[in-house]
């Protein structure tokens, strides 16, 4: 009689859990926030000057502002070319990875090319940051 009671309780509780689980919604709750629209950023993008220079900008003459703008434009143009190459590299890498049979040598070569482009992008950013820093540093005195 004890086994029958335990089995009956397990059967009834299993059916109750199944019935409750069947009634639960399968998707996110109604008050769940919708996904952000495409192209949405968690914060507004920084201007080129703010992106490379932490903190408030020092006072500059019009000539200095023009020189800085030229430097940033040069960086922007260079980075745009590297980013285009990175996009092409990413697409080629994805296509090579999806090909059958898998050609590990080709995928490895494409991955190395992509890594080199990422390295160049990082170096370009750091190089520009160093140039901006040097731009605002006082000129060293040439005393003997």
> pLDDT per residue over 101-134, tens digit each?
999 999 999 999 999 999 999 999 999 988 888 8
Query: Would the pLDDT of 90 be above 80?
Result: yes
Say which CATH architecture domain 60-137 belongs to. Up-down Bundle (1.20)
Q: How far is it, in rounded angstroms, from Cα 79 to Cα 113?
A: 16
Which pTM does this prediction carry?
0.55
Structure confidence by residue, pLDDT tens digits, 53-70: 556 666 777 888 888 889
Q: How many residues does the chain have?
A: 144
- C-alpha distances in Å from residue 123, one per residue of 51, 116, 119, 128, 133: 15, 10, 6, 8, 15
Query: For the chain, what are the domain ranges?
Result: 60-137
pLDDT by residue (tens digit) across 13-55?
Answer: 777 666 656 666 666 566 666 777 777 766 666 665 555 555 6
Q: How far is CA 88 from CA 109, 111, 124, in A?
A: 14, 12, 19
The per-residue pLDDT for 10 is: 74
């Amino acid at each position: 009689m004890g086994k029958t009671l335990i089995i009956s309780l397990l059967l009834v509780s299993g059916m109750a859990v199944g019935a409750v689980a069947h009634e639960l919604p399968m998707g996110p709750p109604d008050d769940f926030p919708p996904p952000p629209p495409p192209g949405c950023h968690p914060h507004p993008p920084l201007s080129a000057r703010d992106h490379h220079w932490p903190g408030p900008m020092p006072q500059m003459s019009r000539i200095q502002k023009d020189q800085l703008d030229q430097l940033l434009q040069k960086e922007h143009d260079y980075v745009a070319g590297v980013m285009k190459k990175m996009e092409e590299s990413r697409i080629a890498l994805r296509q090579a990875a999806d090909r059958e049979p898998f050609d590990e040598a080709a995928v490895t070569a494409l991955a190395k090319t992509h890594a080199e482009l990422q390295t160049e992008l990082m170096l370009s950013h750091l190089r520009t940051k160093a140039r901006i820093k040097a731009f605002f540093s006082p000129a060293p005195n040439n005393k003997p």
